[in-house]
Amino acid sequence: MSDYTPKPEHKFTFGLWTVGNPGRDPFGAPVRSSKTPAELVYLLGEVCAYGVNFHDNDLIPIDATFTEAEAIKKDFRKALADTGLVVPMATTNLFYDPVFKDGAFTSNDPKVRAYAIQKTLKAIDLGVEFGAKVYVFWGGREGTETDSSKKATEAIKRNREAINFFCEYALDQGYDLKFALEAKPNEPRGDLYNPTTGHMLAFIESLDHPEMVGVNPEMAHEHMVGINFMHGVAQAWEAGKLFHIDLNDQYPGRYDQDLRFGSRDIKAAFYLVKFLEDVGYEGSRHFDAHAYRTEDFEGVKDFARGCMRTYLILKEKAAQFNADKEIQALLAEINEDDGSMSQYFGKYSAEKANTLKAQSFDRNAIASRGLRYERLDQLTAEILLGVR
Ligand code: GCO
Ligand code: MN
Ligand code: MN
């Protein structure tokens, strides 16, 4: 039996808002008491997490005085030192307070937009103070219920202007900080701008400092709309833009569930873990999820341990897949290449195009070959089911 104990090198992180989630939902009041940031750090230390991330107001309440803020920071800092936890990522809460009911950077009210930028500047300072190297932007309420209210192009421009402003600010301050943009299709707004990781990747290329900005794809957000998460992550990785990742789970077409990692679609979780491990992703494995509303704090620990344990089990399964002789033989057969077509690939030349146009293909013979993906998928399933 393998050891699935989380170690610092696994880079497992949780947000204060995840293990601190009190279980409130639109139909019911909190079921768990609220814990202080320091208490949550000790809880994460107990389950062997590597790091803790926060929104500005997870740490410092929006109305806290300077003295209150200093006291909270002192306790938090002590908890970090006691447990050895680090803060790899920070972010801004731009969705909870009523002032953000029509969005933050994209609000129609210039006072809201200016306040949102001010709040983010201060939150960036706070994150950097605790050592964050990645700063996440999730456009919580950057969207609409009615498109009569806002020009979509204007909203996108406002968002771009804000991110450009923060890039210059980070450079000006000499911060060692990268930005990671997180997409979500809907919730809490009816529709959100830049709804998928793919939209974000395109948006980033329109910024003044695209090199400072990447993405923070979230599994549940892409599953909400029924698309393949790993494909989006691969696209981000291939573009050099996978700066962070939010792991959890979600049934398509439902409300924002934030389920424990691997609790719904084990196969999707497997391909994701296999991808991250195969390419050598070195960033945080951040679990942006929370325990069922049925749980007390023992259940919260079960939830957190479960996320990490499932990741490590799937990591082991990925290694097993890679070492499986029958699977590898099938893959070799599938990817067979006698080199006769190599002359046609790669960079364009007029000669290449002309020779290719003259080449004859036996379409029917090519198409008649069975690809054995049924067998391959069954073998994958058997690895996951533990009978191989
Ligand atoms: C959500 C989002 C958030 C963000 C967080 C960090 O659906 O609520 O995933 O949890 O990840 O605000 O930016
Ligand atoms: Mn989410
Ligand atoms: Mn998230």
Residue 91, ligand 1, Cβ within 6 A: yes
Predicted local confidence at residue 262, as pLDDT: 98
Q: 1 falls in which pLDDT band (50, 70, 90)? A: low
Determine the distance separating the centroid of ligand 2 and the alpha carbon of 337, expressed in angstroms: 42
> From atom 10 of ligand 1, which residue's Cα is the shortest distance away?
288
Q: Specify the pairing of strand 143-144 against strand 51-55.
A: unpaired
pTM for the model stands at: 0.97
Residue 189, ligand 1, Cβ within 6 A: no
Q: Is 55 a catalytic residue?
A: yes
Q: How far apart are CA 274 and CA 276, in angstroms?
A: 6
Q: How far apart are CA 342 and CA 347, in angstroms?
A: 11
Is residue 195 a contact partner of residue 229, using CB atoms and an 8 Å limit? no
| Closest of 201, 207, 254, 250 to residue 229, by C-alpha | 250
Residue 142, ligand 1, Cβ within 6 A: no
CA 179 to chain centre: 13
Report the sign of the C-alpha dihedral through residues 152, 156, 157, 158, in that order.
positive
Which ligand is in closest contact with the Cα of 246?
Answer: 3
Atom of ligand 1 nearest to the CA of 246: 11
Mean pLDDT of the chain: 98
| Closest of 280, 285, 278 to residue 248, by C-alpha | 285
Q: How far apart are CA 257 and CA 365, in angstroms?
A: 48
Q: How far apart are CA 304 and CA 28, in angstroms?
A: 23
Determine the distance separating the centroid of ligand 3 and the alpha carbon of 15, expressed in angstroms: 9
> From atom 5 of ligand 1, which residue's Cα is the shortest distance away?
138
For residue 3, pLDDT over 80 is answered with yes
Backbone angles phi, psi at 387, to 5 degrees: -105, 5
Residue 56, ligand 1, Cβ within 6 A: no
Q: How far apart are CA 141 and CA 103, in angstroms?
A: 4
Show the tokens assigned to 371.
């690809």
Mean pLDDT of the region 356-382: 97
Show the tokens assigned to 165.
């402003």
Other C-beta atoms closer than 10 Å to the C-beta of 150 total 18
Predicted local confidence at residue 2, as pLDDT: 85
Determine the distance separating the centroid of ligand 3 and the alpha carbon of 187, expressed in angstroms: 12
Q: How far apart are CA 140 and CA 144, in angstroms?
A: 11
Mean pLDDT of the region 315-342: 97
Q: How far apart are CA 289 and CA 302, in angstroms?
A: 13
Predicted local confidence at residue 189, as pLDDT: 97
How far is CA 223 from each of CA 156, 227, 249, 265, 380, rounded to the nearest angstrom?
24, 6, 8, 10, 21
Determine the distance separating the centroid of ligand 3 and the alpha carbon of 183, expressed in angstroms: 8
For residue 373, pLDDT over 80 is answered with yes
Atom of ligand 1 nearest to the CA of 91: 13
> From atom 2 of ligand 1, which residue's Cα is the shortest distance away?
138
pLDDT digits (tens, 9 = 90+) for 335-359: 999 999 999 999 999 999 999 999 9
Mean pLDDT of the region 317-339: 97
Residue appearing with tokens 């979780």: 269
**What beta strand segments (E) does the chain contain?**
12-15, 51-55, 89-91, 134-138, 143-144, 178-182, 191-192, 213-215, 246-247, 285-287
Residue 302, ligand 1, Cβ within 6 A: no
Cis peptide before 188 (omega within 30 of 0): yes
pLDDT digits (tens, 9 = 90+) for 120-145: 999 999 999 999 999 999 999 999 99
Predicted local confidence at residue 44, as pLDDT: 98
Determine the distance separating the centroid of ligand 1 and the alpha carbon of 21, expressed in angstroms: 12
Residue 138, ligand 1, Cβ within 6 A: yes
Which ligand is in closest contact with the Cα of 259?
Answer: 2
Annotated catalytic residue: which of 3, 10, 56, 58?
Answer: 58
Which ligand is in closest contact with the Cα of 53?
Answer: 1
pLDDT digits (tens, 9 = 90+) for 11-41: 999 999 999 999 999 999 999 999 999 999 9
Backbone angles phi, psi at 378, to 5 degrees: -65, -40
Predicted local confidence at residue 345, as pLDDT: 98
For residue 222, pLDDT over 80 is answered with yes
For residue 178, pLDDT over 90 is answered with yes
Write down how long the chain is. 388
Residue 246, ligand 1, Cβ within 6 A: yes
Q: Is 209 a catalytic residue?
A: no
